[in-house]
């Protein structure tokens, strides 16, 4: 069940009103001199104060969850072919999919593309994870000289 700010405020106001009523009843019970009634009303008063604090805590948690959802809505992904996540307003700065999809999600940017063994890769600035955007070319290369080899003896 989701509670918006207006509902939480109204609930908090309602609880505060009931707390005020119970406090008045407790004060009246003091005047009557009925100790048992005074203690029962005091327990109700304490319970309502706990309830009021819980409503305020839930309201704060709700606001934080809404802020987190709004942040997540700014991110797209995983995008093919490399599984990157990106902020919609920063499409050229991919986030590390390993960090973003971890149990405790972290926003970490991938570094700039690097040439590596005739391929292209990016490295996460946080966890060091590599993504090869262009596979390495591991075929041996030969170096050709500009002039034929001549022995000093012949």
In this predicted model, what pLDDT tens digit does every residue of 37-61 receive, in sequence order? 878 888 888 888 888 888 889 889 9
Q: Is residue 45 in a domain? A: yes
Q: What is the spatial distance between Cα 67 and Cα 153, in angstroms, rounded to a whole number?
A: 81
> Do residues 50 and 14 both lie within one domain?
yes
In this predicted model, what pLDDT tens digit does every residue of 101-134 receive, in sequence order? 988 888 899 999 998 887 899 999 999 999 988 8
> Do residues 83 and 39 both lie within one domain?
no
Does this model's pTM top 0.95? My answer is no
Determine the length of the chain: 154
Domain that holds residue 38: 5-72
> Do residues 80 and 58 both lie within one domain?
no
Using alpha carbons only, what angle is made at residue 64 by residues 63 and 68, rounded to the nearest 5 degrees? 120
> Do residues 18 and 55 both lie within one domain?
yes
């Amino acid at each position: 069940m989701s509670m918006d700010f207006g509902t939480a405020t109204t609930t908090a106001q309602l609880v505060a009103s009931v707390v005020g009523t119970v406090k008045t009843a407790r004060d009246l019970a003091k005047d009557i001199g009925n100790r048992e009634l005074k203690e029962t009303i005091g327990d109700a008063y304490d319970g309502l104060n706990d309830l009021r604090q819980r409503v305020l805590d839930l309201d704060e948690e709700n606001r934080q969850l809404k802020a987190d959802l709004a942040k997540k809505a700014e991110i797209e992904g995983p995008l093919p072919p490399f599984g990157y996540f990106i902020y919609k307003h920063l499409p050229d700065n991919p986030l590390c999919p390993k960090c973003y999809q971890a149990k405790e999600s972290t926003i970490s940017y991938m570094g700039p593309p690097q040439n590596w063994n005739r391929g292209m890769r990016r490295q996460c600035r946080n966890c060091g994870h590599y993504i090869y955007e262009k596979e390495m070319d591991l075929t041996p290369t030969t170096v050709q000289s500009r002039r034929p080899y001549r022995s000093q003896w012949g």
